[in-house]
Amino acid sequence: MRPWRARATGASGAAGIIAPLPHPLVTPLPPALGPVVSELIDLLALERLEDNLFRGQSRDIGTKYVFGGQVLGQALAAAQATLDKSRHAHSLHAYFLRAGDIEHPIVYDVDRTRDGGSFSVRRVTAIQHGKVIFFCAASFQDDEPGAEHQLGMPEVPQPEDIAPAPPVPAEVMATLPTKVQRWLQRGGPFEFRHVYPRDELNPPKRPPYQQVWFRLRESTGPIPTALHQALLAYASDFHLLGTATFPHGISYYQPNVQMASLDHALWFHRPFRADEWLLYSIDSPSSQGSRGLARGQIFDRNGRLVASTAQEGLIRVMPDPATTRTAATKE
């Protein structure tokens, strides 16, 4: 969708001509780009309603509500669109307040909090049905040299040495909700290869850490850094909170498990490409009070630490109806 803006009215009060307004994420894409990846990029290219007001569509990925990564990516894209200088995001801190409605668009209201000599700050509020469902603050910085260090990347097999996940057996697929079936059959815009795969339908108990290679399923060619950052914001919400369920032998796919992101932090350290393999190394230091905390480090395949994440989320285990019925029968 092409973004548009109405020019200011003149002294006579007559309306100005409607003119296209450039958006930093709108860029020519390879003509052969497949529908799944191009749909995600279109999702991040918001419709501009006013200088600081944007509208984004939602995509059904099989979840009951809007996927948190979608809101993160769109909020960052909205903030990026208000920058007058070529500054890049270095951090984003967000809170999820209400579940998003997949069937309706989301409006993003950007506050240009500060534009300093080296840094810019934006606050973004996401609104749906007249209520705030999400807000975040994002900070941007000019490229600047300085002292560098980083922790090393874990020693793991290369993505080419890890077999892609096998398809879900037909008899198992038939037991899943229709939305989940559609998502699994179609496949998402990102490819994931787990270093230590886990059966999410029958999860065993194991220590709370994992490593996952991921990348866009197709090469995008030359696109702006801002778009790579928005794509990574989207992908960073996958597999993060789930790591906190590992010691408990539960997963999001189980009908009696309720999970939702409460907050999300993302730091960008070094340049990267979302269509090249990245390693997501995740651990969960604590889970308590129906909340789990997870932390992630994202490396490129050369071992450079390109981003870090942290998230706390709701993990609520409801009584299993089948177990409850069985217990009641025995009584």
311 is catalytic: yes
Give CA 212 to chain center in angstroms: 15
Residue of 202, 282, 220, 174 whose CA lies nearest to 28: 220
Q: Residue 258 to residues 113, 115, 317: CA-CA distances in angstroms? A: 35, 40, 6
Annotate 13-70 with DSSP letters as a single string: -----EEE---TT-----TT--HHHHHHHHHHSPEEEETTEEEE-----SSSS--HHH
- Nearest CA to 243 out of 203, 191, 190, 271 is that of 203
* Residue with the two structure tokens 């948190």: 68
281 is catalytic: no
Cβ-defined contacts of 124-131 (< 8 Å, 24+): 124/75, 124/76, 124/78, 124/79, 126/71, 126/74, 126/75, 126/100, 128/98, 128/100, 128/101, 128/104, 129/101, 129/104, 131/98
Measured distance CA(55)–CA(212) in Å, rounded: 32
* Exposed / middle / buried, residue 261 (Cβ in 10 Å: 0-12, 13-18, 19+): buried
Candidate list 261, 281, 284, 287, residue with the active-site label:
261
Q: Reply yes or no on whether 80 is catalytic.
A: no
Q: Which of 70, 128, 237, 297 is catalytic?
A: 237
Show which residues are catalytic. Answer: 237, 261, 311
